[in-house]
Amino acid sequence: MTVANVWAIGIDLGGTKIEVARVDAEGNLRQRLRRPTDAKRGAAAVKAEVVKAVKSLQQSVDSPPAGVGVGVAGQVDRQQGMVRFAPNLGWHDEPLKDYLGRALGLPVVVTNDVRAATLGEWLYGAGQGCDDLICLFVGTGIGGGVVAGGRILSGCSNSAGELGHITVDLRGPSCHCGNRGCLEALAGGWAIARHAQEAISADPSAGASLSKLAGDKGEAVTAKIVGQAAQIGDPLALRIMEEAVQALVAGAASLVNAFNPCRLILGGGVIEGLPQLVDRIARGVRQRALTVSREPLEILPARLGNNAGVIGAATLAIHSFMGKRD
Amino acid sequence: MTVANVWAIGIDLGGTKIEVARVDAEGNLRQRLRRPTDAKRGAAAVKAEVVKAVKSLQQSVDSPPAGVGVGVAGQVDRQQGMVRFAPNLGWHDEPLKDYLGRALGLPVVVTNDVRAATLGEWLYGAGQGCDDLICLFVGTGIGGGVVAGGRILSGCSNSAGELGHITVDLRGPSCHCGNRGCLEALAGGWAIARHAQEAISADPSAGASLSKLAGDKGEAVTAKIVGQAAQIGDPLALRIMEEAVQALVAGAASLVNAFNPCRLILGGGVIEGLPQLVDRIARGVRQRALTVSREPLEILPARLGNNAGVIGAATLAIHSFMGKRD
């Protein structure tokens, strides 16, 4: 088989959707299927849906894939290919690798979804050619991945890179994780929405135009709506976004000082919705980080968007089963 | 030459003292000289003092050393062996490796002092046998080193591990680095002293017993005195130490979530002076860090104390010039 024929299946398995893609050995996404994740029907139904999507993709190609890579929104034991805990799927100790391997007759590698997206951005996106970088994904939650000295950090129990859970305000608001003042609790999509909902509930007149965008239902305000309201100059939305930006600047400066990356790559839904945030954060980090850490640093937007996960997962499979680095 | 004969010179070069030691290939400190750093007399005088101390150590041994390792309190270009900036020495772009190499006729390797101490603790102290760990040194300032996957992280410009400059309170007090709310600005020795001095100056009666310990000179209050006053129950000192502990807990939890180490090793003068802080911080981290990150984690005190720097620097020389890993 020549390299031109090499391809793999990449799967991005989250709480709301399953993406399954055919990706070649140059990181090009050739074909993709997207399905809603029907987590309520249980793990068996979700896994069966994944198998169906993979088989459907396989039909369109003559050559067999090098293997299957899966990025799961949860904590993964990569050696065993076991999903230890995936809160949005409701999974505990799910032996995903064994199941898919048997059902598909293909080699399977399972990793965390953010780790997979970091691999994608590193090798085929904004991180190309760089051996020391951080990917910070700001969506509903905040996660990240760190490449140091040409390797993705995995840590003692494969959970390095929980960058949304660094404390930036030690007396700050409570976080879903049980701690308080986490970066995610100030700047994640859920936190931006919560902040707006609380402000509207405390003073409905302050959030008039925000509420209007949400159909006059305060509880329907999302981070996306806050971002839209900020762009048309709504004062409450502007204040909430400014606080999120200050938290992102503090968090990014912390990461830059601790890891000394050459590049800080910003992605995720909040950044994609408000791309001007990249420059705002970059200006703030230049003011707050140590000179020695900020001098070599580039701060730039992620390039692969939603596709980073499937591209990274498929690439991990190609590297794992074709003898290349991961 | 057998391994039993292998030894190296380790040097710990700081703003107040120069330590020069003979260290064997098992990390044992065999002999040590300590000199005050007379930084005011300029770089040439300090370097001459280092050379004199090394030569004096060499006289007591028949076999030549494998080389010389230097840990400098500053920013180092390790490939060139150049000290880029060492604020406490007043050095800028000092070619230390070239100078010592010529003056001593020995191979020389130069690194950052905290990096050297991390290497010492990792290989011969509290980090033995562990491939993923963080050393956090809490002294006048706060610094650290990170071992990930069996390698010390160096980063893009050799400044990874500035762990005292992660933000834990984004609206917190100003830091020497120009940022605000850094871990060091809340829990470093200089910050503890500043905090006490400001409280006494605002309300002299509140700090009566603290002032007394400092000979009734508010400006003479140091972190050590605050620690002593806390141990005899002084309310102001207890409050100040409690705030430092909360900052250390928040910072340590951040690092544990970001790096997922197997061990967090706590050292430095503030920890050595108040060893009960290790348990306090461990309890706090167990409450605040993510379950997945804290489960595999051990938190323990550094074991080599002040000697970590010279042992690490000498070990770096042995590994650099005898063909072992660094």
Question: pLDDT tens, B275-307?
Answer: 999 999 999 999 999 999 999 999 999 999 999
State which amino acid sits at residue B59: Q
**B148 is written with which tokens?**
């990930």
Residue B287 counted as domain residue: yes
Answer yes or no: do B91 and B220 share one domain.
no
Partners of residue B261 in chain A, C-beta under 8 Å = 155-156
Residue B188 counted as domain residue: yes
- Single out the residue of B134, B74, B157, B164 nearest to residue B260, CA to CA: B134
Contact A87/B at CB under 8 A? no
CATH number of the domain to which B56 belongs: 3.30.420.40
Q: How many structural domains is chain A composed of?
A: 2
CB contact under 8 A, B258 and A297: no
What domain range includes position B213?
129-303
Answer yes or no: do B116 and B139 share one domain.
no
User: Scanning every residue of chain B, which has its alpha carbon at the shortest distance from the alpha carbon of A253?
Assistant: B166
From the list A148, A168, A258, the residue facing B170 with the nearest CB is A168
**Under 8 Å CB-to-CB from B202, ≥6 apart: which residues?**
none
How many Cβ atoms from other residues are within 10 Å of residue B7's Cβ? 26
Partners of residue A255 in chain B, C-beta under 8 Å = 258
How many Cβ atoms from other residues are within 10 Å of residue A262's Cβ? 18
Contact in structure between A315 and A10 (CB atoms under 8 Å): yes
pLDDT tens string, chain A, 326 residues long: the values are 566 689 999 999 998 899 999 999 999 999 999 999 988 999 999 999 999 999 999 998 889 999 999 999 988 988 899 999 888 899 999 999 999 999 999 999 999 999 999 999 999 999 999 999 999 999 999 999 999 999 999 999 999 999 999 999 999 999 999 999 999 999 999 999 999 999 998 988 888 888 888 888 888 899 999 999 999 999 999 999 999 999 999 999 999 999 999 999 999 999 999 999 999 999 999 999 999 999 999 999 999 999 999 999 999 999 999 864 44
Residue B230 counted as domain residue: yes
Answer yes or no: do B94 and B143 share one domain.
no
Answer yes or no: do B77 and B152 share one domain.
no
Block residue for tokens 């048309």: A232
Residue B326 counted as domain residue: no
Answer yes or no: do A88 and A208 share one domain.
no
From the list A155, A181, A254, the residue facing B259 with the nearest CB is A155
Answer yes or no: do A247 and A143 share one domain.
yes
Residue A87 counted as domain residue: yes
Answer yes or no: do B162 and B272 share one domain.
yes
Partners of residue B259 in chain A, C-beta under 8 Å = 153, 155, 160
Contact B255/A at CB under 8 A? yes
Does the structure's ipTM exceed the value 0.95? Answer: no
Q: Is B281 helix (H, G, I), strand (E, B) or coil?
A: helix
**A253 is written with which tokens?**
């400066």
Answer yes or no: do A31 and A100 share one domain.
yes
Residue B144 counted as domain residue: yes
**B252 is written with which tokens?**
């340590």
Answer yes or no: do A20 and A91 share one domain.
yes
Instruction: Please list the residues that pair with A112 across neighbouring strands.
Output: A72
Contact A259/B at CB under 8 A? yes
Answer yes or no: do A165 and A46 share one domain.
no
Answer yes or no: do B310 and B298 share one domain.
no
State which amino acid sits at residue A309: G
Contact A175/B at CB under 8 A? no
Residue A99 counted as domain residue: yes
Residue A326 counted as domain residue: no
Answer yes or no: do B146 and B104 share one domain.
no
